[in-house]
Structure 1
Amino acid sequence: MVKATLSLPNPEVTPARMLFDGSFEGYTCDSGADACSTYSYANWVGTSPSGGNFDASIFDDAKFAHSGRSVALLGSATNADTLSGTLAPASPITTEAGFSYTLQFFYSTSFTDEEADEAGASLEIIWNGTPVDTITPGYQSQWVGYQTTVVAQGNDILQFVGSPAPAFVWIDDVSLLPLSI
């Protein structure tokens, strides 16, 4: 019988530290408000192209989240433009160069509940500047799990680029785990 064990590339790096706050729960409303949103906070940054408005944002509103209270949205939250926003961790991800990792997350496209609006929904996953995959779910009212394998360079950059409004994409519960052998 062969026994396989999980060997982390670097014992100082645990799965929880590889991608900090992938559930976006580090963002909460001030002053006890029921719901709020922001471009960025200490752990994640949403950016809009020139002329864009709130094209990648983080919401603290349990009705939209896959789990917990907070979630990320790609597509102009104010519906002010039709530009694609980018969401990324605020800092490079600490990994071990040359090792493979499983990137996992959940996505949904049900912001407006209008199938026609969400028909063009898409989500591009970028790892260190290279596209990994583009998901084109169209209207997806339920949360769907996704996973792919990436190879680390060390201090890696993860980005999610979403389709423009009104084809919104929600992202939640993002994790990066070392592959076991």
Structure 2
Amino acid sequence: MFSVSKNKCVGCGICETECLNEAIKVDLASGIAVIDKDRCSECYLCIEVCPQNAIKVIQKSLIIAIGTDDEKTIKPDDHFGMSKYFQIWLYSDGQLELLETRENSKYEEDETRIHGDPNKVKATSSILKGVDVMLGKMMGANIQRLKNKFIPTITREPLIKNALTIIKENINEIMEEYEKQERKGIILI
């Protein structure tokens, strides 16, 4: 599936001009190229001509965990690992599907443990088995330990339904980070 990065596309229209099937148009309201999947022949010409490297083919599926206490909003008052629940979403072919909600029951808060305790990361990792991306408002001190297993992703958007749109709009950046050996966190605004 082709994806246009809203953070890289400058609306220059080169892809639109070069497309032999007239399958790509720059949306004047957003200033971002939009690909008509029905007209696209997947010739990859748009990828080759884009001076911003804004168009990518996304073939991999990703599993995304969203930290929440109420299943509607992203945990607002603490870091990802302290969420009551993790909603597990599948990103595939440009769509997001809720697979399940996992309860964060592996780690019980112990006031004698310090912030960034390695046992917390082990507990969180076991709950998030199979997950590629962690999405929350904040990450704890264990981000250094988690970033090799997961892509720590931050959003300031409080509503999960809006955060899902932000994920889709930024899937190119998430995939680029996923493919790196040395990962860093991503901030999606």
Q: TM-score, normalised by structure 2?
A: 0.22
Task: Pick the structure with more helix per residue.
Answer: 2
Q: TM-score, normalised by structure 1?
A: 0.23
Larger radius of gyration: 2
